[in-house]
Amino acid sequence: MPAATAIAQLRDRLGADVVTDDPAECWSYGYDNSRRHVAPAAVVRPDSPESVKTAIEICNQTRTPVTARGYGSGTTGAAVPSNGGIVLSTERLTTIHRIDPDNRAAVVQAGVTNGAVQRAVAEHGFFWAPDPTSADYSTVGGNLACNAAGPRAVKYGTTRDNTLGLRAVTGDGRELRTGVYTTKGVVGYDLTRLLIGSEGTLALITEATLMLRPLPEAICTIRAVYSDVNSAAAAVARIMAQPVIPRVLELMDEAATNLVRSSVTLPADGRALLLVEVDGPAAHLDDAAAAIHTVAGPGLVAFDQSVDDHHREELWSARRALSPALRTLAPEKINEDVVVPVSRLSELIAALVGIGNDHGVTIVNFGHAGNGNIHVNLLGQTDQLPDMRRCLAKLMQTVVSLGGTLSGEHGVGLDKRDFVGLEIEPETLGLMRAIKQQFDPNGILNPGKMFPDLPGL
C-alpha cells in the first residue's frame, strides 16, 4: 500500500497538527549525527501514548516503516529512515509524571531530555545515572533505545542498570508495560532489559520508570599524568582491582594528550593521562583519593587532586578541550566506541598503534577506560577513506579477539551491521531475529537496522 494511504489515515485519526508531509519539515527529520540523510514520507508527532498506539496500528496495517526519533543525536544512522516510511518523533511526549524520593524512582515520558530529568530530580537531591555528553539534546527514549551511558557508568552502570520499567507499543500495536516499581523483582522474563538497547526495532517506548540515586555529598577529581599510555592503561586495571570504585575513570592516549597541549598546562614529559573521580561523604574522600594514588604508579609523572569546584573544572579542562580539537584535525573521522576487558586495554592500545602505522591513518584514543570503553577516532583526508575503512575492519576483529564488544554505548544502527556477525554467533542471531518477529511480525519498526543482511539477500 502506498505511503500516501497511510499518511491520509494517520491525518484522519490523529489530526493535521500531528502529521506532516511537508517536504521541508520531512527533510529536517531525515538525519542523525552519522551524517547520513534520508527524508521520510511523513513525520508524526503524537502527544500521548494512545496516539503512538494508533499511529503504529495504522502503519502496521499499511506495512509502513516506522523509525522512532528522539533528538537525532545518535551517531550510527539508527534514527535515519533508510527504508522510507514515517518518522515518529517523541518531541511532544515531554511530561515528567512523578518524582518519588521515598522509592527513589521517577516516571517520565520518552521525549523528555536527559538534562531535563537531571535538573528535575536534582531538586529532590537525586540523579539518574546515565550521563551522555549529549544529555541536553538527547531524550530518555533515545538513551533507552541505545543503552546510552557516560563517564559515571563505571560506578553507577548504564541506562539498562538504572531503569525499573517501561511502557511501550510493539510493531503490531500492542501496548506493553514491563518491569516493576520496586528495586527487586523476578516475575516473568525481563522485557525491560530486552527493550533497552533494541534501537527502536522491537517497540516504541512511550514512558519509563527510572531508578534514581542520591546525589553524593562531595566529589574529588584527580588528574594523573603518565610518561606513556601503557603505564596509564596498566594503572586503569590496578585502580579497578582495588576496593574504591571510581565514579569516573577516563583515559587519553598520547595523540589525544598532544592535541590539547596548547590549551592546557601539562608536564612536558606527560604523554597520557587519566581523569579519575571518587565521590561520597566529604570526610571519606581523602582516603579514597589516597587509595587511588597508592595503585597509580609506575609511570606516574604528576598527580593532582581537588574537591574545589573551580579547581576540579581546571583538571577536567584537558578532557573537555579534546572534542573541539579533534574536529579541526582532519576532514574525515570515523568514531567508534569499542569495549575490551580492562585488563586488556594495553593490548588494544598497542594493536591500534600497529593498525594506524600499517595503514598510514592517524588514530586518537580516549574514553571511559574504567569500563574498558574506548572512543577510537580514525582520522584522515577524504582520499584515505578506503584505508580508514580497512583500519575499522581490523579494529573490530581485534576487539572481538580480545574478548570485547563492538559498541559500548552508541549501538549498531546502520554503521556496524556488517560487523555484528564477528561478535554474535549465527544461532544466537537467529534467536534474536525470532524475538524481533514476535514483537514486530511485519517488520515495520526501524527496518534495516542492527542485524546484518541474511546470506543471499
Ligand X SMILES: Cc1cc2nc3c(=O)[nH]c(=O)nc-3n(C[C@H](O)[C@H](O)[C@H](O)COP(=O)(O)OP(=O)(O)OC[C@H]3O[C@@H](n4cnc5c(N)ncnc54)[C@H](O)[C@@H]3O)c2cc1C
Under the rule (CB under 6 A), what is the footprint of ligand X? 32-33, 67-75, 78-79, 90, 110, 132-134, 138-139, 141-143, 145-146, 148-150, 199-200, 204-205, 409-410, 446
Cα–Cα dist 3/11, whole Å:
12
Residue 378 forms beta bridges with which residues? 334, 363
Closest to ligand X by CB, 222 or 248 = 248
Which CB atom, from 69 or from 344, has the smaller least distance to ligand X? 69
- Describe the strand order of the beta sheet including 66-69 as a list of residue ranges: 19-20, 42-44, 86-89, 66-69
Strand (E) or helix (H) holding 224: strand 218-226
Please provide residue 131's backbone torsions phi and psi, each rounded to the nearest 5 degrees: -135, 60
Q: CA–CA distance from 315 to each of 109, 258, 267, 307 (Å)?
A: 36, 16, 13, 11
- CB 440 to ligand X: min, Å: 12
Q: To the nearest whole angstrom, how small is the minimum distance from the Cβ of residue 444 to ligand X?
A: 12
Minimal distance in Å, beta carbon 112 to ligand X? 10
Cα–Cα distance, 294 to 177 (Å, whole number): 48
Q: Do the beta carbons of residue 38 and residue 95 sit within 8 Å?
A: no
At 106, which helix (H) or strand (E)? strand 105-109
| C-beta closer to ligand X: residue 90 or 230 | 90
**C-alpha–C-alpha distance, residues 175 and 283, integer Å:** 49
Which CB, 244 or 248, lies closer to ligand X?
Answer: 248
**Minimum distance from residue 71 beta carbon to ligand X (Å):** 4
Contact 277, 245 (CB under 8 A): no
| Minimum CB distance to ligand X smaller for 8 or for 321 | 321
Task: Say if CB 212 and CB 105 are below 8 A apart.
Answer: yes
Of 131 and 254, which CB lies nearer to ligand X in the complex structure? 131
CA distance 295 to 292: 6
Minimum distance from residue 454 beta carbon to ligand X (Å): 20
Residue 107, strand partner residues? 98, 209
Min separation Cβ 18 and ligand X, Å: 16
Hey, what's the cell of 94? 515531554
Which residue lies nearer to ligand X by CB, 199 or 440? 199
Q: Are 386 and 414 in contact (CB under 8 A)?
A: no
Shortest CB 10 distance to ligand X, Å: 18
User: Among residues 142 and 171, whose Cβ is nearest to ligand X?
Assistant: 142
Contact 52, 206 (CB under 8 A): yes
**Least spacing, CB of residue 153 vs ligand X, in Å:** 9
